[in-house]
Amino acid sequence: MTDVLDPFRLDGKVAVLTGAGSGIGKATAELFASVGASLILGDIDEVAVTSTADAITAAGGDAVALRCDITQKSDNEALVGRAVADYGRLDVMGNIAGVPHNQMLTDVTEEELDRMLAINLKGPFFGVQAALGQMLTQEAGGSIINVASSGMDFAAPTLAVYAMTKAAVASLGRTAAIEGAHKRVRVNTIAPGATVTAFTEVSVTDEDGNINSEALDGKIKMLTGASPMQMIGEAEDQANLILYLASDASRFATGQIWRCNGGAPMVW
């Protein structure tokens, strides 16, 4: 008898995920492996992404790790190329890697702006470009998932650069969806709200790498209080949504922005 959850499984599917060394990327890799996907994992932190792949393999999954600087077109192409070399195709691309940024607009230097554009915009662009190029040659189509942010939905001090890059990623997804639709390549974007990851600690960490636990607790309480649900997201919450969009359960969904944020923008 067919299980109602079968459409959510990824048995026999090949997925490339960036940012898989930590946070949402790591949680997504672990979830994908648990439902049968074969994984090519990329991250600029080679030690971290290798640890993710090793843990998946040790648990009986199928994963390989590659160091990937998403700002480099060739590195994105290498991830997709490895999937094709090992399995003959690419079914899912998750462009998850990205970095936060908090700085008043008038204080942003040209160098910092260029860095953010390279990581948060060029990176996903190169990922979509490489994946779409491959998927358009296949008969089975595919699914591309980009990660933007709910920060693009509201105006707040210090978010100018971050929100701008994430809004651009959402726009990229819609255009790519149109270009891939005729071959049933689906492209969707998720927009996470406040989610606990390693980046949550960045603003409360000193120059020596010491985390101010009191400040961290205060930050989490503040973010929790900003949610109508009085919750802060976990990486797994976003991974669950990414799985839906990667799976055949969402086969008729494309070109959309999916917000997973506890309703937070409603109160800004």
Active site residue 244: no
Percentages of the chain per state (helix, strand, coil), in multiples of 5: 50, 15, 30
Of the candidates 32, 125, 162, 258, the residue annotated as catalytic is 162
**Distance (Å, rounded) from C-alpha 214 to C-alpha 216?**
5
**Distance (Å, rounded) from C-alpha 56 to C-alpha 52?**
6
Residue that the structure tokens 């908090």 belong to = 102
Pick the closest to residue 52 from 63, 60, 68 (CA basis).
Answer: 63
- Kindly report the backbone phi and psi dihedral angles of residue 187, in degrees, each rounded to the nearest multiple of 5, phi listed first: -130, 120
Pick the closest to residue 170 from 140, 147, 154 (CA basis).
Answer: 147
Pick the closest to residue 16 from 43, 49, 54, 42 (CA basis).
Answer: 42
Those residues whose C-beta lies under 8 Å from the C-beta of residue 40, and which sit 6 or more positions away, are 14, 15, 16, 17, 63, 64, 66, 79, 82, 83, 86
Structure tokens at 79: 């991830």
Angle at which helix 160-180 crosses helix 110-117, to 10 degrees, equals 30
Active site residues: 162
